[in-house]
């Protein structure tokens, strides 16, 4: 399968290793990966801060870049959520029926990374090895918009040597929320403190998630508290220590 990687502007600027990890995993599974250099942003930042009409040209550009893609994979549940929950609304707001039709055609070919592995490819075991104690933070968009459920956990359970530690109150937000953490700093800090306390209580060496935005927020606090807990995107764990195991098909 020919897969287009939309890395997101956030990952491109701050966490390029995540995109490299996605490429590594998907190529390991036998897929051809392409990167379209004209890609930019999903428009989430504009939309979430009330700049609705300013988001439309970005949405239009995304559709123009990927309208002929076979599949688009994105290592960010928040960006995929932006597309599924708001792109059609934005096009309808502009009265652009042609853009609505194009978005409706493109959306079924867009997947968050872990969702693509399990729901589209039917793969839970990617042959990874990661001998560390890990806990998983379920980001809000992954649970409440994409309804990923236990998909990331099922992938982590197949990683050789990984000791998965459950976290209390997994469904609670970390307090980031993009500009929410800036506009509501006190509330955000309180939510972060709760989440970090739960992370530390697991005794994990590494905290993972499907969104680097949450992980950056968490790591800021973990680092300031001089803990030794690291953060790593799920893709980076799945790209680690290829054990050469046979990929298991769990769904056609």
pLDDT (tens digit, 9 = 90+) per residue, 201-225? 999 999 999 999 999 999 999 999 9
Give 247's pLDDT tier (boundaries 50, 70, 90): very low
- The rounded distance, in Å, linking the Cα atoms of 146 and 185 is 26
Residues 6+ apart with CB under 8 A from 228: 205
> What mean pLDDT, rounded, does the chain reach?
93
Instruction: Write down the pLDDT at residue 252.
Output: 33
For residues 43 and 61, what is the distance between their CA atoms, to the nearest angstrom? 10
Q: 182 Cβ partners below 8 Å, 6+ apart? A: none
**CA distances (Å), origin 168, targets 12, 57, 198, 201:** 31, 41, 6, 8
Closest C-alpha among 161, 134, 153, 143 to residue 231: 134
Tens digits of residue pLDDT in 133-179: 999 999 999 999 999 999 999 999 999 999 999 999 988 899 888 78
Question: Of 22-26, 86-90, 245-249, where does mean pLDDT reach its minimum?
Answer: 245-249
Pick from 75, 2, 82, 7: nearest CA to 38: 7
**Out of 74-78, 106-110, 162-166, 179-183, least confident range:** 179-183
In three-state secondary structure terms, 133 is strand
Checking if the pLDDT of 249 tops 80, the result is no
DSSP state of 110: E
Would you say residue 93 has pLDDT above 70? yes
pLDDT band of 180, cuts 50, 70, 90:
confident
- Does residue 250 surpass a pLDDT of 50? no
Residue 196 confidence class, pLDDT cut points 50, 70, 90:
very high
Give the pLDDT score at 104.
98
Give CA angle at 128 (152, 134), nearest 5°: 50
Query: Whole-angstrom Cα distance, residue 203 to residue 58?
Result: 42
């Amino acid at each position: 399968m020919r897969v287009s990687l939309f890395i997101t502007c956030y990952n491109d600027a701050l966490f390029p290793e995540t995109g490299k990890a996605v490429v590594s995993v998907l190529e390991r599974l036998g897929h051809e990966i392409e990167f379209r250099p004209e890609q930019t942003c999903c428009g989430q930042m504009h939309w979430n801060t009330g700049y609705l009409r300013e988001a439309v040209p970005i949405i239009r550009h995304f559709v123009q870049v990927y309208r002929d893609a076979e599949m688009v994979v994105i290592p960010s549940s928040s960006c995929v959520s932006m597309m599924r929950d708001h792109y059609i609304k934005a096009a309808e707001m502009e009265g652009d029926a042609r853009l609505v039709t194009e978005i409706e055609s493109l959306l079924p070919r867009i997947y968050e990374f872990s969702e693509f592995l399990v729901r589209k490819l039917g793969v839970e075991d990617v042959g990874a090895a990661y001998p560390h104690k890990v806990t998983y933070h379920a980001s809000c968009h992954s649970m409440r918009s994409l309804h990923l459920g236990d998909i990331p956990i099922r992938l982590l359970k197949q990683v050789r040597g990984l000791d998965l530690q459950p976290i209390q109150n997994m469904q609670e937000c970390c307090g980031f929320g993009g500009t929410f953490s800036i506009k509501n700093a006190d509330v955000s800090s309180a939510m972060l403190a709760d989440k970090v306390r739960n992370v530390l209580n697991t005794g994990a060496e590494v905290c993972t998630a499907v969104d680097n935005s949450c992980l950056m927020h968490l790591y800021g606090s973990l680092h300031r508290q001089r803990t030794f807990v690291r953060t790593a995107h799920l893709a980076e764990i799945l790209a680690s220590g290829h054990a050469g195991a046979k990929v298991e098909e769990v769904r056609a």
